[in-house]
Amino acid sequence: MLEIEDLHVHFHTEEGTVQALDGVSLEVGYDEVLGIIGESGCGKSVTILSVMRLLQSPPAEIVSGSIRYEGQELLNLSEREMNEIRGDDVTMVYQDPMSSLNPVLTIGRQLTEPLRAHTDCSKAAARQKAIHMLEKCGLADAERLMGQYPNALSGGMRQRVVIAMALVTEPKLLIADEPTTALDVTIQAQILDLLRDLQKQYEMSIIFISHDLAVISEIADRVGVMYAGNVVETCSMRELFDTPLHPYTRRLTKSIPRLDTAVDRLPTIDGVVPELIDPPEGCRFASRCPEYIGDVCDANNPPLNPPEEYVDHSVACHLYDEQTEAEPPWMNSPTK
């Protein structure tokens, strides 16, 4: 459904040019949930804002690459053509529901607006469909909520409204940018259950972005791991826990607390993320990598390729180069 290929995005600032994305490649299949995992600042949100063509320019610039939705190149579309896709076929749930809802418009006005813009629904039909979608998203007394303003709703209710607003046009692809970050654990679990149920019901694809590996594991079919503007590993969710290949991914999985292991402190990754104004020429994880193997890591940024005996599992690491003699450092990782 969606193919991102060799995407480069720069931000031009007074301090210099930030190379936010450096050759990002990802794809999303039909009726699939792709999770994108990585720490803050790794490029997750920039990637999906590039897909939606919502990056502010300047300072942002899509330098090169390709973003194809059902075979159509999105980067070549006019703003009018993009608007026909954005909000209809492809919709988005943002991180903070309070900032993505207009505080001076009623919930009903904001829910019916996408229907009026993208379909030929009458005002009455759009209202009934909006009420129905609020009910689908688990909100009781939906008709009363249509006249409410966002500040009258709790955080969990606002998040459900934002999801309803994204789904009211029945999109083919939903992008969820850390939709559970500001919620407590109980509400977070309810939102994940809701998204899973709606994904199956509407047979849509989802890109789910998070910095929390435990949250991603609850919903994703496949996962892309990002670090410092690069995709360093892509695989199924099960393989991420059973056989993580990239050193960064292995340390992410080891950082998850386990009930069957008593530890005083969780493992950490030494060092800091490189500055993207002046990134290293080689692997961006090299300065922090315990499996660092010398000049080859410093000289070239490894491409994302499947190692031998792997088909749908790709990794960007020199440990798996054909010319590298080092054995891949397997480990017994926690299962899902």
**In this predicted model, what pLDDT tens digit does every residue of 104-160 receive, in sequence order?**
999 999 999 988 888 888 899 999 999 999 998 888 889 999 999 999 998 888 888
The pLDDT of residue 330: 43
Beta carbons of 90 and 171 less than 8 angstroms apart = yes
* Cis upstream peptide for 267 (omega within 30°): no
The pLDDT of residue 263: 72
Closest-CA residue to 85 (of 52, 107, 40): 52
Beta carbons of 298 and 280 less than 8 angstroms apart = yes
**Could you give the CA distance from residue 312 to residue 171 in angstroms, rounded to a whole number?**
27
State the CB neighbour count (10 A cutoff) for residue 121: 19
The pLDDT of residue 335: 39
Q: What is the mean pLDDT of residues 293-316?
A: 89
**Could you give the CA distance from residue 261 to residue 253 in angstroms, rounded to a whole number?**
14
- Is this prediction's pTM over 0.95? no
Cβ neighbourhood burial of 174 (10 Å; 0-12, 13-18, 19+): buried
- pLDDT class for 322, splitting at 50, 70, 90? low
pLDDT(325) > 60: no
> Which residues, 6 or more positions from 151, have their beta carbon under 8 angstroms from its beta carbon?
103
**Could you give the CA distance from residue 273 to residue 285 in angstroms, rounded to a whole number?**
8
Q: What is the mean pLDDT of residues 279-294?
A: 91
The pLDDT of residue 324: 46
List, edge to edge, every strand of the sheet that includes 2-12: 17-28, 2-12, 60-69, 72-73
Beta carbons of 288 and 270 less than 8 angstroms apart = yes
pLDDT(274) > 50: yes
The pLDDT of residue 195: 87
The pLDDT of residue 182: 67
